[in-house]
Amino acid sequence: MAVSILANLLQGCGPTLVAGTTYGAAVVYDRRDERTVFDDEVIEFRARDAYLKNPDLSEHSQLKVTSYSHVALITGQADTEQIADRFAHVVSQLPKVKRVYNEAEIGPKVSLKQLTTDTYLTSRAKLAIQSIDLPKFDALRVKVVTENGVIYLMGLVTREEGQATAEKVRRIPGVTRVVKIFEYVEPQITGLVQARQTKAG
């Protein structure tokens, strides 16, 4: 269903088609505007599509792209550095992508056990972030990506929020490293987000 909706959007339909869905609701609590949230979904879709259509990449790696505010993060494993770099170049050429962080590891694909552990660590991280007590901070504005024990943090946050988030996640047992890929904003922007939430309510 989600793929079908996104396919329609890629053919030129606007974001208004998904109003009322989880996508539309998420925008209310996001510091990205609606257009940027939509762009990030499209970037991830196009990156995945390009990856699967290129067997020279997909048969020799296990890579995925996460986009936040037009910044693309590549995680996973590749057989060689050349494969990882080739995919990074493909992603960098996608419309609206302004920066690519290529965090692909060179080596064999991780085991199913590690994938399960990564899923667990992501859940633990999200739970830990929810306990952060800062004015107007919303844990839903932080995107958590876990790969082989390394947690990547993305989002539009203040420096205080970013530091608090990283410290919370760093204390989780099993996390080997925390990488901050935040875009920092001034605290005043939180007032704009609060106004948007009030209007939506």
Residue 147, classed as helix, strand or coil, is: strand
pLDDT at 14: 43
R_g of the chain, CA atoms, integer Å: 17
Strand partners, 100: 72
Query: Stretch 158-176: mean pLDDT, rounded?
Result: 98
Model confidence at 201: pLDDT above 90: no
Q: In whole angstroms, what is the distance from residue 198 CA to residue 28 CA?
A: 9
CA 61, 119, 132, 27 dihedral sign is positive
Who has greater pLDDT, 35 or 25?
35
Query: Stretch 169-189: mean pLDDT, rounded?
Result: 93
Query: Stretch 179-196: mean pLDDT, rounded?
Result: 72
Beta carbons of 167 and 194 less than 8 angstroms apart: no
Q: For the structural domain made of 30-106, what CATH number should be given? A: 3.30.1340.30
Ordered by start, the domain boundaries in the chain are 30-106, 109-187
**In percent, how much of the chain has pLDDT > 70?**
79
pLDDT at 10: 52
Q: What is the per-residue pLDDT across 26-52, written as a single tens digit (0 to 9) for each?
A: 555 789 999 999 999 999 999 999 999
CATH superfamily of 109-187: Fe-S cluster assembly (FSCA) (3.30.300.130)
**In percent, how much of the chain has pLDDT > 90?**
77
Please give the structure tokens belonging to residue 170. 């760093």
| Nearest alpha carbon to residue 65 among 87, 95, 34 | 87
pTM for the full predicted model: 0.82
Lowest mean pLDDT among 20-29, 49-58, 174-183: 20-29
Q: In whole angstroms, what is the distance from residue 120 CA to residue 149 CA?
A: 10
pLDDT at 187: 83
Q: In whole angstroms, what is the distance from residue 140 CA to residue 30 CA?
A: 8
